C-alpha cells in the first residue's frame, strides 16, 4: 500500500495486536507485511546471512558465536538452525517501486538496524541507505508522489506515538514533519494529484480524537482540513476531500455520515454490530462517484461491491461463500478493480479486469507459492511481485508487463534457502458445537517417515495462539513455527471463533467468549491432534502474544491439565483493568470492546470481566509460566503482567518475568527480540524436552530486566551475571 491511506497499525500482524487504531475492522489488503514476516508483528525482527551448522555459523561471523547443542538426543534430525536465521535482521524486505518506476526501495540493515535503501530500478544491487535509524529500525515507509521523497513513521521505545518523517533523496536531509510530543500521527491519504502534500491525522487537540490536516512535504507547513467532532475515522478521496465519517453506536454498530455541501453531515449508512468487522468503505473509482466497499450486510461472508453514489445502486464485483474479501488489486490511476482475493485455507484471486489475466497466468509459471503484487508503478507497466511459500524464503521479482518478463531481485532471508524446513499442513477441525476451525500444523522434518501428515510417534507440541483476536493465521512461511518445528515440536495454529476471514457469523460467534468458547476451540483442536497421534498429551505448551498471551494465561489457569507450560507475551491478565486503561485514542471505539469482550462500565459487566480474567484464578496455575512485557506498551499496559506475576509470587508459584524497558506491544529492537526467543526456547526445552541453542551472549545489548524467576530458565541467571 505505498500509494494510499496508510496506518502504522497495519505493520502489526496476527501474532500480536489488540485492535490498535481501528485497522483490524477493515478487511483491506495487507500483503506487504504479511509476506515478509517482519515478520507478522513489530516484535519479530528478521534475519542475516547465517546458515545452519556450527562451522558455517562461525565462518559467516554471526553475532552469537556459540556452540550449538541439543537439550536431549534427537536421533537423525536435521541440524539445529541458529535463531539468528529465523529472527535476526533480514537481507532485504518490503520492496517498492517509485511511482514513476525509475527507482526501487527496500528495507535492509545498516549496522544491524533496519533502514530504507534506494537505488535504480534496473540495478537494485547499487542501492544505498537513505535513512539513518540507529535504534528500533524502520518498519513502515512508502514513496511520496514527488518521486524524490521517502516517507516513514517511527515511534519512541514502543509508545506508538508515531511521527511522520520525510527524506529528501536529492539532499539526503531527513525532516520530522510532526515534531509533537505525546501525539500520534497517522497517514490519512496520499494522492498523485498532489505530489507535494499528504493528509495526516493528529490527536494533538484532543488525545481521543484525530483531526485531519494537510501537510506540505517540502515546507513542513500544515493546515487544518477537518476537526473531529467525535468520529472514529474519516474517508477521503484523492482530491483530499473528506467524504465520509464514521461513529460507533452504543450497541456496538456504527453510523456512516456523508459530508454535505454546507459543511455538515447527513446519515449515509448504518452498520450493525454483527457487520462491523466485515463491512467497510475502501475507496472510490476515478470519478469519485462510485464507492468501493467490502460488505457483509444481508449475507455472511464479506463480498466486494461498487456503489453508485447518485442512485444508491450496489453492484456485486466478487464474492466467495466460504471466505471474506482479503486483498485487492486496483489500477493506481484509473482506479479500476483488477482482481479480488479470498483466503479460506489458501489465497486465491478472482480476476475482474481481463487485461491482467495473462499477467497473473504468466506469473504463476515463474515460481512456486502464493503470488502477491506488492507494488505497481503509476502507469501500471511494472510490478513488484512476491512469492510466498511455506518452507522457504519469500522471493521478489521485478515484472515488466509489456515484455511479459521477470527479473529475480532477492529473497527476504537468503540463509533459509536450502535448509530443511517443515511443510505446513492445513486442516479443518470441527469444534464441539460444529464450527469449522481452519487450522495449520507443522511436523518436524524427519518425524513423518511415510509422509502421511502424521508423525511416526506422538510429539511434544506447541499451540501458538494468534493475537487480535480479530485477525487470523495464514498458510505460508512463518518464523515462529519454523523455529519451533526445527527444535523438535509439532506446531499448531488455530483460527478459533472470533478470527477474521471466515464470515461475520464466525467472528460474532466469539462475542463475549473470551475465556469461553474461543478457548474451547483451542482445546478441541489440541484434542484433535492427540486423537490423530500428532501430539503427546503430556507435552503440550501454549504460547502467544496480546490476545494470544491472554489465551495462554487462561489456559494455564482454567485448563491446567492440558498444558505442560506456557509462554505469554504482552498478554492481558485482568480484563477490567485492561478495559479501563486503553489508550485515549481507542475511546471513540469503546463500544466495540464493550459488546465483544465485556463492559467494565456496568456492575454486571465488571462481574463478567472478573469471571473471565485469568488473574481471578491464579491459584490454579500448576505448570511453569514465562511472562514477557514491554514497559511502554500503550495497549496492554505493564500492569497486566505485573499483576499476574505478583499474584503468583504471593501464592508461591514459580514464574519467570522478562521486562523490557524500551519496548512496547512487542519487541522491535533485534537484541531484545533475540533474547526473548533465546529464553523461550530454553524454557520450552526444559519442560517439553525439545532441542535448544543456549542463551550464551544473547543478553548483550538488550534492555531486559528479570524481576523474578531467572533461576527457572537454564543459563539465564548465569547470563545475567556476566
Task: Report, as residue numbers or ranges, the catalytic residues.
Answer: 546, 633, 665
Q: What's the full length of the chain, in residues? A: 722
Eight-state DSSP code of residue 482: H
Angle at the Cα of 419 from the Cα atoms of 83 and 410, rounded to 5 degrees:
90
Beta strand segments in 423-528, E: 424-430, 436-442, 459-465, 490-494
| 48 touches 88 (CB < 8 A) | yes
Return d(Cα 218, Cα 371) in angstroms, integer.
37
Lookup: cell for 507: 467472528
From 587, 490, 475, select the one nearest 529 (Cα to Cα).
490
Lookup: cell for 347: 489465497
From 217, 212, 179, select the one nearest 197 (Cα to Cα).
217
End-to-end alpha-carbon separation of the chain, Å? 45
Q: Which residues pair with 183 in a beta bridge?
A: none
| 398 touches 407 (CB < 8 A) | yes
SS3 content of the chain, % helix, strand, coil (to 5): 20, 30, 45
Phi, psi of 181, deg, nearest 5: -75, 135
Give Cβ neighbours of residue 75 (< 8 Å, ≥ 6 apart). Answer: none
Instruction: Return the HEC string of 14-71.
Output: CCCCCCCCCHHHCCCCCHHHHHHCCCCCCCCCCCCCCCCCHHHHHHCCCCCCCCCCCC
From 379, 1, 378, select the one nearest 189 (Cα to Cα).
1
| 632 touches 158 (CB < 8 A) | yes
| Location of C-alpha cell 475482474 | 352
Query: In which element (H, E) is residue 648 found?
Result: helix 638-650
180: Cα within 13 Å, side-chain hemisphere: 20
Query: In which element (H, E) is residue 259 found?
Result: strand 254-259
| 391 touches 477 (CB < 8 A) | yes
Phi-psi region of 715 (alpha: psi -120 to 50; beta: other; left: phi over 0): left
From 43, 15, 26, select the one nearest 468 (Cα to Cα).
15
Strands 625-630 and 656-660: parallel
Helix (H, G, I), strand (E, B) or coil at 253: coil
From 387, 302, 546, select the one nearest 34 (Cα to Cα).
387
Helix (H, G, I), strand (E, B) or coil at 425: strand
Measure Cα distances from 17 to 240, 468, 482, 569 in Å.
30, 5, 21, 11
Query: In which element (H, E) is residue 675 found?
Result: helix 670-688
Instruction: Return the HEC string of 458-471.
Output: CEEEEEEECCCCCC
Amino acid at each position: 500500500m505505498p500509494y494510499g491511506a496508510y496506518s502504522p497499525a497495519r505493520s502489526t500482524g496476527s501474532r500480536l495486536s489488540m485492535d490498535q487504531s481501528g485497522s483490524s475492522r477493515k478487511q483491506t489488503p495487507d500483503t506487504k507485511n504479511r509476506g515478509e514476516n517482519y515478520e507478522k508483528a513489530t516484535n519479530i525482527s528478521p534475519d542475516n546471512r547465517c546458515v545452519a551448522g556450527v562451522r558455517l555459523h562461525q565462518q559467516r561471523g554471526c553475532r552469537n558465536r556459540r556452540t550449538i547443542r541439543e537439550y536431549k538426543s534427537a536421533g537423525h534430525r536435521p541440524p539445529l538452525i541458529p535463531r539468528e536465521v529465523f529472527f535476526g535482521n533480514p537481507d532485504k524486505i518490503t520492496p517498492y517501486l517509485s511511482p514513476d518506476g525509475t527507482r526501487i526501495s527496500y528495507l535492509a540493515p545498516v549496522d544491524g538496524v533496519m533502514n530504507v535503501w534506494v537505488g535504480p530500478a534496473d540495478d537494485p544491487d547499487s542501492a544505498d541507505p537513505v535513512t539513518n535509524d540507529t535504534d528500533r529500525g524502520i518498519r513502515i515507509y512508502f514513496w511520496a508522489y514527488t518521486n524524490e521523497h521517502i516517507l516513514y513513521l517511527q515511534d519512541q521505545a514502543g509508545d506508538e506515538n508515531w511521527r511522520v518523517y520525510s527524506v529528501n533523496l536529492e539532499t539526503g536531509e531527513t525532516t520530522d514533519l510532526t515534531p509533537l510530543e505525546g501525539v500520534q500521527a497517522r497517514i490519512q491519504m496520499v494522492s498523485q494529484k498532489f505530489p507535494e502534500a499528504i493528509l495526516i491525522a493528529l490527536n494533538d487537540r484532543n488525545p481521543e480524537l484525530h483531526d485531519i490536516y494537510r501537510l506540505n512535504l517540502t515546507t513542513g507547513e500544515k493546515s487544518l482540513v477537518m476537526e473531529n467532532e467525535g468520529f472514529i475515522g474519516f474517508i477521503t478521496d484523492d482530491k483530499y476531500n473528506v467524504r465520509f465519517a464514521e461513529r460507533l453506536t452504543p450497541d456496538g454498530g456504527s453510523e456512516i455520515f456523508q459530508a454535505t455541501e454546507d459543511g455538515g453531515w447527513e446519515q449515509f449508512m448504518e452498520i450493525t454490530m454483527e457487520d462491523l468487522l466485515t463491512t467497510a468503505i475502501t475507496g472510490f473509482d476515478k470519478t469519485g462517484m462510485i464507492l468501493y466497499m467490502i460488505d457483509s450486510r444481508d449475507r455472511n461472508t464479506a463480498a466486494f461491491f461498487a456503489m453508485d453514489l447518485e442512485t444508491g445502486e450496489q453492484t456485486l464485483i466478487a464474492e466467495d461463500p466460504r471466505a471474506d474479501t482479503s486483498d485487492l488489486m486496483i489500477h493506481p490511476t484509473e482506479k479500476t478493480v483488477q482482481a479480488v482475493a479470498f483466503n479460506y485455507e489458501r489465497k486465491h484471486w478472482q480476476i475482474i479486469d481481463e487485461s491482467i489475466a495473462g499477467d497473473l497466468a504468466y506469473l504463476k509459471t515463474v515460481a512456486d507459492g502464493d503470488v502477491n503484487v506488492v507494488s505497481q508503478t503509476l502507469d501500471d507497466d511494472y510490478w513488484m511481485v512476491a512469492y510466498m511459500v511455506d518452507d522457504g524464503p519469500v522471493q521478489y521479482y521485478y515484472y515488466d508487463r509489456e515484455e511479459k518478463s521477470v527479473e529475480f531481485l532477492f529473497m527476504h532471508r537468503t540463509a533459509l534457502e536450502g535448509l530443511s524446513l517443515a511443510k505446513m499442513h492445513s486442516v479443518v477441525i470441527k469444534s464441539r458445537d460444529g464450527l469449522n476451525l481452519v487450522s495449520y500444523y507443522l511436523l518436524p522434518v524427519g518425524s513423518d517417515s511415510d509422509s502421511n501428515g502424521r508423525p511416526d510417534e506422538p510429539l511434544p507440541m506447541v499451540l501458538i495462539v494468534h493475537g487480535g483476536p480479530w485477525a487470523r493465521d495464514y498458510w505460508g512461511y512463518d518464523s515462529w513455527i519454523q523455529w519451533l518445528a526445527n527444535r523438535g515440536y509439532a506446531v499448531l495454529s488455530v483460527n478459533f471463533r472470533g478470527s477474521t476471514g471466515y464470515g461475520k457469523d464466525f467472528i460474532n460467534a466469539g462475542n463475549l467468549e473470551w475465556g469461553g468458547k474461543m478457548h474451547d476451540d483451542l482445546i478441541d483442536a489440541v484434542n484433535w491432534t492427540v486423537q490423530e497421534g500428532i501430539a503427546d498429551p503430556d507435552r503440550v505448551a501454549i504460547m502467544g502474544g496480546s490476545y494470544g498471551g491472554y489465551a495462554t494465561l487462561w489456559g494455564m489457569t482454567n485448563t491446567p491439565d492440558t498444558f505442560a507450560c506456557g509462554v505469554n507475551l504482552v498478554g492481558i491478565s485482568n480484563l477490567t483493568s485492561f478495559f479501563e486503561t486503553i489508550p485515549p485514542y481507542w475511546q471513540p471505539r469503546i463500544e466495540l470492546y464493550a459488546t465483544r469482550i465485556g463492559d467494565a462500565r456496568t456492575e454486571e459487566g465488571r462481574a463478567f470481566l472478573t469471571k473471565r480474567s485469568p488473574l481471578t484464578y491464579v491459584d490454579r496455575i500448576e505448570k511453569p509460566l514465562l511472562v514477557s512485557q514491554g514497559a511502554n506498551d500503550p495497549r496492554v499496559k505493564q500492569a497486566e503482567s505485573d499483576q499476574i506475576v505478583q499474584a503468583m509470587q504471593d501464592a508461591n508459584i514459580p514464574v519467570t518475568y522478562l521486562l523490557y524497558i524500551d519496548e512496547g506491544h512487542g519487541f522491535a529492537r533485534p537484541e531484545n527480540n533475540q533474547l526473548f526467543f533465546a529464553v523461550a526456547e530454553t524454557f520450552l526445552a526444559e519442560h517439553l524436552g525439545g532441542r535448544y541453542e543456549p542463551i550464551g551472549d544473547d543478553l548483550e545489548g538488550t534492555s531486559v530486566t528479570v524481576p523474578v524467576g531467572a533461576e527457572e530458565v537454564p543459563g539465564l541467571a548465569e547470563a545475567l551475571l556476566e
